[in-house]
Amino acid sequence: MPELTHESAVKHVTGAAVYVDDLPQAVEQNYVAIGGSEIAHGSITNIDLTEVAASDGVVDVIVASDIPGHVDIGPVFSGDPLLTSDKVEFVGQAIFAVLAITQGQARRAVSKAQIQYTPQNAVLDVLVAQKENITVRPPHTMQRGDAAATLKNAEHKLSGQFFVGGQEHFYLEGQVARAEMDEDGGVIVRSSNQNPTEAQKLVAEVLGIAMHAVVVETRRMGGGFGGKETQANACCCFAALFAVRNRCAVVCRLSRRDDMTTTGKRHPFFNTYDVCFSKEGAIEGIQYELNSVCGASPDLSDAIVDRAMFHSDNAYYLPNVHITGNRYKTHTVSHTAFRGFGGPQGMLAIEAVIDEIAFALKMDPLDVRKRNFYGEQTGHVTPYYQQVTHFTVPRIVDELERSSDYRNRREAIELFNKKNTTLKKGIALTPVKFGISFTATHLNQGGAVLHLYTDGTIHLNHGGTEMGQGLFTKVAQIVSAELGIPVSDIKNSATRTDKVPNTSPTAASSGTDINGMAAYNAASTLKQRLVDHLCEVKQCDASQLGFGPDGVSIEGGESLSWAQLATSAYFARVSLSAQGFYKTPEIYYDRENARGRPFLYYANGAAVSEVVIDTLTGEYKLLVVDILHDVGNSINPAIDIGQIEGGFIQGVGWLTSEELKWDNNGRLLTDGPATYKIPAIGDAPAKFNVSLLSDSPNAENTVMRSKAVGEPPLMLAMSVWSAIRQAIASCSVGSFPCLNAPATPEEILRCLQEVAEP
Amino acid sequence: MRVLRFLLNNILIEESGLPPDMTVLDYLRERKRLTGSKEGCASGDCGACTVVVVSLKNGQLQYASINSCIALMGDLQGRQLITVEHLADDGKLHCSQQAMVDHHGSQCGFCTPGFVMSIFALTKNTVSIDSQHKRKSIEHYLGGNLCRCTGYRPIIDAASTALDWALAGNTDQFSENRAATIQQLQALEAEVDTTGFHRPTTLDALFQCKAQYPDAPVVAGCTDFSLEITQRLKQYPQVISLSGINELGFIEQRNGQWCIGAGCSIAALLSTLGPLNADIADMLYRYGSTQVRNSATVGGNIGNASPVGDLPPLFIALQADVVLRSAAAERVIKLESFFQDYKKTVLQADEIISEIRFDSSALDCEHSVLKIYKISKRIDDDISSVCAVFYCPNTTVKPMVLTAAFGGMAAIPKRALELERVVSASPENMQLIGDALDKDFQPISDARASAGYRITVAKNLYRKFLLELKDTQAAHRLHHLEIDHA
C-alpha cells in the first residue's frame, strides 16, 4: 500500500487544523479556572469564596454542593470527586471552580480564595506506604511452579531492588473542553479526549441527565499518550456544568502548570526481585514484588499494575515464578494510564535482572537474553498460563544482532573504554514482547458506520479517536482497500458519541485493531449490498465484478463510476449506510486464579542502543540506535515507523531526563517544561535506523493481518537504560550498578561513585 | 492617540489601546483569530507558539524566530510579524511546510506550526549556516521546539530538505517581495507606541520615562519578565521597554576591550564571540533556544540576577566590568560585586545596566585558556544545574593564575576565590581543591539537582579542566566525540 501521509498533514503545517481551543468564540463564551487544595492531606474546615466571587469578570462560582448529580467521576472505582468538600488528598485537588469572562480573570480570581484546613500526615514515600500497608486496591498475585523452593536450593542467586520513576504525559495540547447547552438542557461537549463515551457518561451523571442528552465530540487531540483516557473528563464535566448553569458556551482549559500539577502521570514503581539461575545463565526461579505508587485514588491502577505483572516476564520463560503487584496509596495526584499502561515498569524489572545475571556470570547480556527466550514447543507458557505462540523475538534479535553489528561494536566499545578515562561507552540489545488487548475483556469491541452518498463519496465514522497516531488515515485506508474507493473520497469525521455509541477508549494500542476491523466489517456489508444490487440489475455474477478507484467494472460489460453505482443503488432503494462491529475473539482472564489468555497476540520488537557517558558529570549521549520491529503486515509503513521512533524517544525520556520531583509537602517541583525535561531534538540519536520486520503477517486474524504499534515501541528504550548501565559497569571495581530510573546525570554519577567503591 | 504600527503578515495593522502586557500569542489567537500559533506552555519552553519577526537592520530584512507567548505586542512596532497561516503562497505550501508533509513530520500536529516557523527561519538565515555541519545547525534552530510524538527524526529530515532548498538559492514570496517589504517597514519607523507600553528610542528619553513611571518594570527581551504575566498572572499598566534603544545594542572592540551593550541580544553575542572561542559558542548555543536567544539580551541576563546565569559566570571569570547608568551619572563596577544576594543587586532604582566590558586578550591571546562547562539534565534549552567557567590568562606562567566562577552553586553567580587561592599553590592537589570548593560554595537542592550533586560536579569539573589542559588528545566532553551523522 502507498505510504499515505497523515490525513491532517497539510492542515497541521498550515495551522488550519482545529483543536478545541481554536474553535470560533461564541457570542457568549466564558472561561473556567479551578481552585485546588494547597495541602497534600487534611480536612477542609472552611471555604470562603467571597473575594473570588467579587473578583473582576467572575460570572459564577461552584463548590461540590452545587453539583446536581454524581460528584465522583472515578472511571472504575470511586475516589475521584470532581470537587471535594471535606477531605483533601493531594496538592491541587479541586475544591471549587470559577467561571469568568476571560481566561485571565478566571485564573486570577482563583487565587483569592480563603480556605482553611486541618492538615494530616501526608504519605509521600512508597516505602512508608508499604510499611504501613496503605493501599488503593488489594494486591494481586500470579504464580507458576514453586519459586520459593527453587530459590532456597539454588547455587547462583541474587536479589535487588530499584525505583522506576513516573512520567508526565506532556501532550503539547493541554487538557481542554468546550461545552454548549442545547434547547433541551442537554450539552454538546467538544473535548480533547481519548474516551468520549466515558466523558458522555460522566457528564450525564454529574448533570443528572440522560446519556442521550449529552454528545461528546473529539476531532483530534494534540497528543494523548494515555493522559486523556480518564484525565480529560474533569474538564468536560466543569465545562458542561457551567454551560448549563449559565446558558453560555464554556471553555475549560488548564494552564500547563495546572495540568502538570492536577492530572495523573505514569505510575512510579519500586521493584524488588530474588532470582536464581544456572551457571549458563538460565533463570530457574524468580520472585517479584512490583510496588506501584498509585497516588490518592484507584483510577485505573488495578489494570495498570496487572499489566506491569503481565509484562514482568517480557520475552523470557520463567519456570518458577511468583509475582506480587501492590497498589500503594500516596498523597499525590492519582496516577493513570500512560503509553504501555504499567507494562514498561514491569518489563524493566526482568531486563534489570538479566543484565545483573550477565554481570555475575561475566557473560554478554545478549547471550543471557537468548538463553531465556520463550521456546516454541516447551518453555512457552507465561506466568499467567497463556501460551506464547508465533513468537518472533528470536528471529528479530538474530536479524538485528547482525544488521547492527552488535558483537563487533561491543568489542570496539571495550577497547574504547580501556583507552578513555573520562568518557565511557555502553551498548545493549533488548527485546520487547507486549500483549495486545485490553485486559478488561469487555473493552475489546469496536464500532463504525459508513455512509455512501450518491456522488460516490464516503463518510466514515468509528469509535476511535485521533491523537496523532494516524488512526483516521489507517481506517480510511482499510475502507478504501475493501471497497476500492480512493482514500481521497473517504472522509473520516470527528469521533462523536451520537454516531457510534458505547465506544471503548482509544488505548491499549487497540485503536486500529478494533475500530479498523469494525470499519472493515461495515465496508464488507456495504460492498455486499452493492454486489447484490449489481447482480440483480445487471444480471451478472459476483465473480464478474471488479471494484476499484474508478468504480466497478463488469466483466465483458460496462463500467460504472462510484457516483453512478451509488446513484443506481439509491434509486433501487438499497441502504447505503452500513454499521460495522467487532469484538476481539478468544480472550479471557480469570483473575481469581490468575490464569487465562488476556491477549489475542503479542507485538514484538528489539533495539540496540549505544551510549556514551561522562564519568565526571554523569551526562550522557545517545549515539546510535538500531530498531527492528514487528508490525505484522503494515497498513501504513510511514505511520508505523513514526509510532516506533516516537514511542522509542518517549521511552528514552522516561528512562533518562524526565524526572518528577515532589517536595516534602507533596508539592510537585517539576511543574513546567523549564524543570521537567522531555527529549528535545538534540536527544535524537545521530544514527537512528528503524526497520519493520519483513514477511511477518499477524498469525491472528487481525485487520489486514497487521499488529498494534502504539505502545510496544516505547519499551524499546530499555536498551538505552541497559546501555547506560553497561557504561557505568565498565568503571566498576566489583559491583553491578543499581541504576534507578530515570537515569539522570545525577543518578548516573551516584552509580559511578557507588561502583567505584570496593 | 498613540498607535502601534506593524505588518501582520502582509497587512498593515494599527492598534491603539492594547493592554501593555498583552502577549503576541494572545493577540493573534484572541484578537485576530489566527489560531495556527499554539499555546503549549506560555513560558517560552516548548516553541508551539513560534512566529517569525522581521526587522529592518542596515537596510536589510532580518528574520528571527521568537516565542510569541512571551513576546509583548509593543515590541512589534515597526516590524513584520509572520505567522504560519501566511507561509503558503496562493495555496502552494512553502518548502518548510511541504518538507514536513513529505517526511511525515507531523503526528498530532500541535507542535507543527511552531516547527514550521523555526524551519522557515532557518531557511531565511542560510548565511549563518555552516554547510559542513547542517545537522548541528538544524539542532540549534529547532532546539527550542518540543515534539512529543515523532522522536524528531522526520522533522530533522524535513528541516534538512528545506535547508538544502534554501542553500540552493531558491526564492519564496518573501524574498520576491523584499523591496516592497523594506519600503513598508521604513514607513513604519519612528512611530510611537501603544498605551502604557513605553518604548523610548534614546537613553535620554528612557530616563525621562523612568522618572515619570518609577514603578514600571524596565524590560528588554522579556523572555523572563513575561513569566510574571503568563505564569504569575500579574498585570502591568505601564511597561518600559529598552528594545527601541539602538545605542544599547552594540557589540564592539574598543581600547583593547570587548564592549557589549546591555541591549545586545544573545544571538548577536553568539554570532560575534562564538567564532572566537569554541567554548563560548558551545555554551551560547545551549543558552535557551534560538527563539530565546533572538529576544533575550545581555543586560537582561545580568539584571534578572538568576543564581545560574549563564552569562554572569563567564563574565565574572573574565573579570568583566559592568557599566551602570542613570540620567545624571555613570559608574563602573566589577560584575562580581554587582550581585549581592538572591535576586538582589546593587542596581539603584534610577539606574540601568548599560554595558559590559572585558579585556579582549581573554579571547585572542594564544596562551590564555577559557573553559566553560554547562551541566544540565538536557542538552538543549535547559537551565544549568552547574555552570563552571575557568579562565587562565597565561598558561605559561607558573604558578597558575586562575579565575573561576560558578553558576548554580550559590544564591548568586559567584567567583570561587578559595579555589583560585589553592590553585595558585597546589593546582593538582584534589583534596585541597575539594576543600576549597567546599569553602566557596554551599549549594542548595532543587528541582534540577541536589546540593550533593552540585558540589561533586563542581569538583569534578575542575578535574576535567586539568585533564583538558594536560591531555589534549582524548575527548573529555560528550560533544567532542566525533559523531558520524550518516
CA B412 to the chain's CA centroid: 19
Q: What is the distance between the alpha carbons of residues A304 and A299, in angstroms, rounded to a whole number?
A: 10
A14: its cell numbers: 498550515
Q: Which of A220-234, A615-629, B77-91, B355-369 has the lowest mean pLDDT?
A: B355-369
Q: What is the distance between the alpha carbons of residues B134 and B115, in angstroms, rounded to a whole number?
A: 17
Helix (H, G, I), strand (E, B) or coil at A750: helix
Domain span at B456: 376-475
Mutation for A interface: B92, B378, B454, most A CBs within 10 A: B378
Q: Is A711 assigned a catalytic role?
A: yes
Instruction: Give, in words, the CATH class of A29-121+175-253.
Output: alpha beta
Asked whether the beta carbons of A264 and A231 are under 8 A apart, the reply is yes
Q: State the fold for domain A445-583.
A: Aldehyde Oxidoreductase; domain 4 (3.30.365)
CA distance B101 to chain A (A): 6
**Res B191 pLDDT > 80:** no
Tens digit of each residue's pLDDT (9 = 90 or more) over A249-299: 999 999 999 999 999 999 999 999 999 999 999 999 999 999 999 999 999
Size of interface A-B (CB pairs under 8 A): 272
Note whether A686 contacts B84, CB cutoff 8 Å: no
Q: Would you say residue B16 lies in a domain?
A: no
Q: How many CB atoms lie within 10 A of CB B80?
A: 26
Q: Would you say residue B243 lies in a domain?
A: no
Whether B145 contacts chain A with CB within 8 A: yes
**Res B364 pLDDT > 90:** no
Taking alpha carbons only, the member of A721, A736, A92, A727 closest to residue A349 is: A721
A35: its cell numbers: 481552585
A176-181 and B339-341 beta bridge pairing:
unpaired
Q: Which residue does chain B place closest to A15, by CA atoms?
A: B36
Q: Which helix (H) or strand (E) holds B162?
A: helix B153-167
A531: its cell numbers: 454486489
Q: What is the distance between the alpha carbons of residues A711 and A714, in angstroms, rounded to a whole number?
A: 6
Edge-to-edge strand list for the sheet holding A687-692: A423-436, A601-614, A620-630, A687-692
Three-class SS of B113-138: HHHHHHHHHHHCCHHHCCHHHHHHHH
Q: Would you say residue B245 lies in a domain?
A: no
- B192 — pLDDT class (breaks 50, 70, 90): low
**Out of A422, A646, A749, whose CB is closest to B467?**
A422
A373: its cell numbers: 527466550
Total tally of structural domains belonging to chain B = 2
Backbone angles phi, psi at A384, to 5 degrees: -110, 20
- B483 — pLDDT class (breaks 50, 70, 90): low
Q: What is the distance between the alpha carbons of residues A52 and A111, in angstroms, rounded to a whole number?
A: 8
Helix (H, G, I), strand (E, B) or coil at B227: helix
Q: Which helix (H) or strand (E) holds B423?
A: helix B417-425
Whether B92 contacts chain A with CB within 8 A: no
Q: What is the distance between the alpha carbons of residues B309 and B314, in angstroms, rounded to a whole number?
A: 9
* pLDDT at res. B133: 87
Mutation for B interface: A14, A167, A192, A613, most B CBs within 10 A: A14
- Sign of torsion over alpha carbons B430, B436, B438, B441: negative
Please list the residues that pair with A608 across neighbouring strands. A429, A626
The number of residues in chain A equals 758
Q: What is the distance between the alpha carbons of residues A675 and A661, in angstroms, rounded to a whole number?
A: 10
Domain boundary among B148, B171, B194: B171
Domain boundary among B171, B195, B213: B171
Whether B188 contacts chain A with CB within 8 A: no
Tens digit of each residue's pLDDT (9 = 90 or more) over A95-142: 999 999 999 999 999 999 999 999 999 999 999 999 999 999 999 999
**Residue linked to cell 515532589:** A662
- The shares of helix, strand and coil residues in chain B, as percent rounded to the nearest 5, are 40, 20, 40
Tens digit of each residue's pLDDT (9 = 90 or more) over B17-68: 899 999 999 999 999 999 999 999 999 999 999 999 999 998 999 999 999 9
Q: What is the distance between the alpha carbons of residues A656 and A652, in angstroms, rounded to a whole number?
A: 6
* pLDDT at res. A1: 41
Whether A623 contacts chain B with CB within 8 A: yes
Mutation for B interface: A5, A8, A10, A13, most B CBs within 10 A: A13
Taking alpha carbons only, the member of A390, A434, A386, A383 closest to residue A598 is: A386
Q: What is the distance between the alpha carbons of residues B213 and B207, in angstroms, rounded to a whole number?
A: 10
Q: Which of A47-61, A546-560, B51-65, B467-481 has the lowest mean pLDDT?
A: B467-481
- B320 — pLDDT class (breaks 50, 70, 90): very high
User: Alpha-carbon Rg of chain A, whole angstroms?
Assistant: 27
Q: Would you say residue B352 lies in a domain?
A: no
**Mean pLDDT to the nearest integer, B406-417:** 97
Q: What is the distance between the alpha carbons of residues B396 and B386, in angstroms, rounded to a whole number?
A: 28
Query: Which residues of chain A lie closer than 8 angstroms to B37, CB-CB?
Result: 15
Q: Where are the domains of chain A?
A: 29-121+175-253, 269-386+400-439+599-755, 445-583
Note whether B93 contacts A470, CB cutoff 8 Å: no
Query: Which residues of chain A lie closer than 8 angstroms to B381, CB-CB?
Result: 680
Whether B48 contacts chain A with CB within 8 A: yes
Domain A269-386+400-439+599-755 has CATH 3.30.365.10: yes
Q: Would you say residue B114 lies in a domain?
A: yes
- Is the ipTM higher than 0.90? The answer is yes
CA distance B100 to chain A (A): 7
**Res B409 pLDDT > 90:** yes
- Please compute, for residue A254, the number of CA atoms within 13 A of its CA located in the half-sphere on the CB side: 31
Asked whether the beta carbons of B20 and B196 are under 8 A apart, the reply is yes
Q: Would you say residue B141 lies in a domain?
A: yes
Set A289, A356, A711, A747: catalytic member: A711
Q: Would you say residue B183 lies in a domain?
A: no
**Cβ under 8 Å to B: A residues 676-705:** 677-684, 686-688, 690
Domain pair A29-121+175-253 / A269-386+400-439+599-755, same fold: no
Q: Would you say residue B460 lies in a domain?
A: yes
* pLDDT at res. B131: 77
**Out of A22, A647, A674, whose CB is closest to B35?**
A22
Q: What is the distance between the alpha carbons of residues B414 and B392, in angstroms, rounded to a whole number?
A: 17
* pLDDT at res. B416: 98
CATH number at residue B143: 1.10.150.120
CA B222 to the chain's CA centroid: 11
Strands (E) across B265-385 are located at 321-325, 330-334, 339-341, 344-345, 352-359, 369-375
Query: Which residues of chain B lie closer than 8 angstroms to A171, CB-CB?
Result: 108, 110, 148
Tens digit of each residue's pLDDT (9 = 90 or more) over A183-197: 999 999 999 999 999
**Residue linked to cell 518472533:** A392
**Mean pLDDT to the nearest integer, A68-91:** 97
Taking alpha carbons only, the member of A56, A62, A65 closest to residue A97 is: A62
Domain boundary among B171, B189, B205: B171
**Out of A14, A621, A684, whose CB is closest to B97?**
A14
**Res B486 pLDDT > 50:** no
Q: What is the distance between the alpha carbons of residues A105 and A110, in angstroms, rounded to a whole number?
A: 9
**Res B193 pLDDT > 60:** no
